[in-house]
Structure 1
Amino acid sequence: MLNLLFAGTPDVAVPSLKAFAADPRFDVKAVLTRPDAPTGRGRKLKPSPVKAAALELGIPVIDAKPRDPGFLDTLKSLDVDIAAVIAYGNILPVDVLDAVPLGWYNLHFSNLPAWRGAAPAQRAIWAGDTTTGADVFKVGEGLDDGPVIATMSVDLTGRETAGELLDRLAVEGAPMYVDALAHVGEGTAVFTPQPEGDHEYARKITVEDAHVDFTAPIEAVDRQIRACTPNPGAWCALYADGLPGDDGSADVAGTGAGDVGGAQTGEPAKPLTLHILRAQPADLANPNAPQSLEPGELKAGKRNVWVGTGTTPLELLEVKAQGKKAMRAADWARGARLADSARLA
């Protein structure tokens, strides 16, 4: 039986933790995770998903940072043979890496060397990749460049969000992860160096990255929204009386409780943030669907809402307006009483 340290923080790491805890080849001595973080309006401290799962499993939890004084002594006292790290969120210094005899191994959500970095699944969707996968590799000093010991590939449907893809890879990758580390302990693992060369880096997606560009072609807009869902969340600005510079200052939304912008007659409404939770390219075979709209131009029907892109329209399925709850796009549009000149940008 291998004594194992598990390091991880978000939901995508939980399936692997549970898989290691359930496998008789491993004894999970402790879980290393980020400290409790303030969340919600009350800013109450909340444990990470991995910490919550560890406590349910009765596994000791360490939330000290790897560079904290005394961390190395704590690690050595655990007498672990091997360590698993997945979406942990802190850099592991060399002395910490060297303190585990068989090494640290990461489950990474791409087929390396493609999409090394913090957001591999998100970037694969945004780039329009048709396949992706998950690899287990040995962690070293470089960025996701260690030798690979296990790999799996999956086909992309072209409709999944980043959250859905990550959930799938987390669940399907967990058994491979467990078997791969067991092979390391048995001495049967095959270490395959990653190919040399320059590869695009999967940098973290920021809130600004998630600002939807409606001037782009429909395929690019659709991929951007799915890559940013659920985090950080695709968003845009809603101009209730047209885009700045439009000659529509008198064409504003009203002042009712459900209106957008709350502008008074004759005053341009201030733009509000609209989050796009679900969308899809418009079905142009639908007789009610517009065949073309200007980028950002809105058209609302009884059951559908469309917005123009650089090519064909996008259908909004679910949105969350500023200060409102998530709702069907058609319900939002009815309640907002949008002016004909309303635009997204």
Structure 2
Amino acid sequence: MDFTPTAEQKALRDAVRDLLGRREPSTAVGRPRLDPELWGALAEMGVLSLAWEVADDDEPAAGAVEVSLAAAELGRAHAVTPYAESVTAAHVLAATEEGRAVREDLGTGEAVVIPVLTEPNRAWGAPPTVTAKESGDGWELTGTKGPVAYPEAATHVVVTADQGVFLVASPTVEGSVLVLDATPATLLTDDPALLVHAVAQGTLAACAEQLGALEQALAMTVDYLKSRKQFGVPLMSFQTLTQRAAVMYTHQELARSAVQYAALVLADATAADDGVDVAATVARAKAVVGKAATLVGEEAVQLHGGIAVTQEYAVGHLLSRLVTLEHLYGDTRSQLSRLGRSIADHDVVRVL
């Protein structure tokens, strides 16, 4: 398995990095909001359509590896966008002709499609409580879902219900809760495997974004230790601080390996793939990256001191973004719980 990016992948990474380098990182606090100008620029570059881009011979020209490279640059630049959510939505929308039409609008930036797969005040993975019933040639949904990310920008939402996965246009969101009251919807799929595959793709994008953010947090911390002086000498002169930075670097490299491996596995996987447990691969990656993100983010704040939690300084914002992404599609604890349920067929489990 070759982890070395191709020339085309390096060019993509550099192009996204250059685009994001020309803008100021987000310093907004509170609920994330979509920057329409940035979203449009990403669409114009083709970043939003990487998940389904094809070449002239109708063969995939991009996929999980390219998505992870772009997502990592978004994380490094602290560009707050629903990119991981859009990747998930794109894979679900591929199931129907109407969904593919909306997906094209997603790729051009005209549509913002947000998956709403969680139940209000319940943990990730809870069974959907929304009920769906047929009405004429379509469906109607009743119930609530939430929380909804970027509710002000969402033109469509992808919703899980008792009969499958549905697309809802012009959603009604109260606060952060999606309210459905006999709301017209389009059935996208009733195949659980397709949803699992789509969530795995979006989870990988979230992991890659976390990787980029923690890399930036570590880089800023190392620079700070080199430049900030205490008792007349740089902070890097103190062995304890450099050892803590070394531990951060170790976790960064573990996270990088986990993301790269998961990206290569997903690049060759399909929703009907029985040979590779894609969901388990991504769960392992998210558990590793989640642990690394927590350690690196918190250590970065501690090693910077009080300046790290000011609105003007980026490290605190990076930690905030790392925490947000940690809870997208299930946090580290839920990933470990999922993996733990898969070892029931083992007679002996060696924890250490």
TM-score range (shorter-chain normalised) is under 0.3
Q: TM-score, normalised by structure 1?
A: 0.25
Q: TM-score, normalised by structure 2?
A: 0.24
Q: Give 1 or 2: higher strand fraction.
A: 1
- Whichever of the two has the greater Rg, that structure is 1
Q: Give 1 or 2: higher helix fraction.
A: 2
